[in-house]
Each structure stands twice: as C-alpha cells, then as structure tokens.
C-alpha cells in the first residue's frame, strides 16, 4: 500500500463475488484476501457447477499483487484437474475500495468477467448486476 492510500483501502477481508462463464453463466464465490505491501494471498470457495465435478465445493488458493487500483492474482484450484487448474484474474479497485471488477482468463483461450465486493458492504443482488454490466 502506498503512502497516499489509507488503511481503509487495504484489501484484507472477506469478499463476495461472481464470475461469468459463457456456457455456465454466473457462478458465486467467496474470497478471503490478505494484503501485505503490494502482495495479495488468500483463498476462494465456490460451488461446483460441472456434471463431472468430484466435489460439491471447489477450493482455490490466491497469489498476486496490487499496484494502486490495479489488482491481479492467480487462482489455483486444490486439487487441480476436472477442468479446474489455474485462472488469471485482472481487475480494478473502485474509488471507495469496496469493489474489484475485471476479467479472468484460462490459458489465454477461455475468458470471462468477474466482480467482487467486500462482504457486508453491498448486497449479493448488487454483485449480480455488476457482473452483467461488466460483460
């Protein structure tokens, strides 16, 4: 975090989000982020929406960075496989540090949009509207 940003801009905390995938639609997830300096770590939990899923819920770890309002991280599913390996996320933090919106890609071939908001600050319905607007 740069000196010009205040502590309220720190990304550490629980975030509710949605990503949109062409053949699947919108998928809700919960992310726990930890920001230290410009580094971001954390995890996500999301419902498995594929018929071939071995689990009801997918878990993934996050590793990335933040540069001002730009946020990027790599999501690595645990365990990998079943069409779920790593996903690159790139987005922008809004002015009041309550929302990150952007795009995700898998191997530069599969892509979609995402939005995530700090838990408790906005309703899930608002997240759904933002996913549609990002498309």
What is the predicted pLDDT for the residue at 50? 74
> Under 8 Å CB-to-CB from 114, ≥6 apart: which residues?
17, 18, 19, 20, 89, 91, 101, 102, 103, 104, 131, 134
Where residue 64 falls among pLDDT bands split at 50, 70, 90? very high
DSSP H/E element including 88: strand 84-93
The CA-atom distances, in angstroms, between 81 and each of 74, 87, 114, 122, 130 are: 16, 12, 22, 33, 29
What number is the average pLDDT over the span 80-104? 89
- Give the domains, in start order, of the chain with CATH numbers: 7-127 (2.40.128.120)
* Euclidean distance between CA atoms 41 and 21, whole angstroms: 24
Alpha helices by DSSP H, the chain: 124-134
**Would you state the structure tokens that stand for residue 60, as one six-digit string?**
């993934």
**Would you state the structure tokens that stand for residue 131, as one six-digit string?**
């996913």
Query: What pTM value is reported for the model?
Result: 0.81
């Amino acid at each position: 975090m740069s000196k010009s940003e205040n502590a309220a801009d720190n990304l550490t905390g629980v975030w509710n989000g949605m990503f949109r995938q062409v053949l699947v639609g919108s998928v809700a997830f919960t992310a726990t982020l930890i920001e230290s300096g410009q580094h971001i770590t954390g995890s996500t939990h999301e419902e498995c929406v594929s018929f071939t899923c071995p689990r009801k819920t997918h878990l993934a770890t996050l590793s990335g960075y933040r540069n001002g309002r730009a946020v990027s991280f790599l999501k690595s599913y645990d365990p990998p496989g079943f069409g779920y390996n790593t996903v690159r996320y790139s987005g922008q933090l809004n002015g009041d540090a309550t929302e990150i919106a952007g795009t995700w890609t898998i191997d530069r071939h599969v892509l979609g949009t995402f939005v995530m908001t700090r838990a408790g600050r906005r309703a899930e319905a608002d997240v759904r509207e933002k996913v549609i607007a990002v498309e």
